[in-house]
Amino acid sequence: MVDGNLPTIVPRETRRGNMIIDIPKQLLNECRQRGVVVLAGAGVSAAAPSSLPSWNPLNQGIFNAICDRVDSYLSQPEYTAQIRSEVHERRNADLFPPDYQAQILAESFGDDYFRALQAVDIPTFNSAHFGIAQLARHRIVKAVVTTNFDRLIEKALESDGIAYEVAYEPVSYMRCAQSLSNMTANTPIQILKLHGSVQDHRSMIDTLKQRLLGRNDHLAQCVATLLEKHLWLYMGFSAADLESDKVRNKQVHQPSAQQMGL
């Protein structure tokens, strides 16, 4: 939470107690001077009351729902049992990654697959989203880079009247690159969504083919600018989906980038 001029971090496990961890003053001063970029992964939206599933559980849930529909349609409760078992074994052996499943479903159902993913567009944000918003209110967080489709960070910012701009497709990536190159004290918080947003199903990136295409040039420019200018705070991010991410391959290993992770 943020109290007065001194932001503090309250770990989830300590909510039942009274322990509060203060950010060291030296680090806090550096954060205020340089500004912080939050890299928010699926774990940010996983905590209650948002309780959104991460990438693997989401894809497992989609697969189970399809199998349930097939069993119900055929009136044979165990019809897909063998298929479920084989897919489960392949998942455990890392032979059936989520983006490959997404590729199969997108080729089978087209845009309807991505419209179904818009089910994660829920209204209830959690304490992680709230904490990001509070740090943004104090102008410590300058931008958020997220792999999440959902709009919970935006909702947390809106609840506190904090101005922001969101970029999730080519035109808005270009606008974000311009904003970052001319940033002032009055520049709205920039939210950079690497995988698109639920507000436009056409922007969402989930399949293997999409990931192998790499990233938009303006998006890469945005990430490079943020890496050069600011400290980075990693939240709820496993980095499991970065192997085919050309932004990461081009930018993360720049020696000029100063990063921090929690």
Range of the domain at 78: 55-120
For the whole model, what pTM was predicted?
0.82
Asked if residue 254 has pLDDT above 80, the reply is: no
The two beta strands, 6-9 and 36-40, are: unpaired
- Statement to judge: residues 47 and 63 lie in one domain: no
Radius of gyration of the chain from its Cα atoms, rounded to whole angstroms:
20
Do residues 74 and 23 share a domain? no
Mean pLDDT, rounded, for 76-103: 92
The answer on 248 and 156 residing in a single domain is yes
- 38 and 166 share one domain: yes
Q: What is the pLDDT of residue 247?
A: 40
Q: Give the tens place of pLDDT for each residue, 149-190.
A: 999 999 999 999 999 999 999 999 999 999 999 999 899 999
- Domain count for the chain, please give it: 2
For residues 127 and 201, membership in a common domain is answered with yes
> What is the model's pLDDT at position 241?
58
Same domain, yes or no, for 9 and 62?
A: no
Domain boundary among 78, 97, 120: 120
Q: How far apart are CA 177 and CA 262, in angstroms?
A: 26
Gap between the Cα atoms of 135 and 240, Å rounded:
26
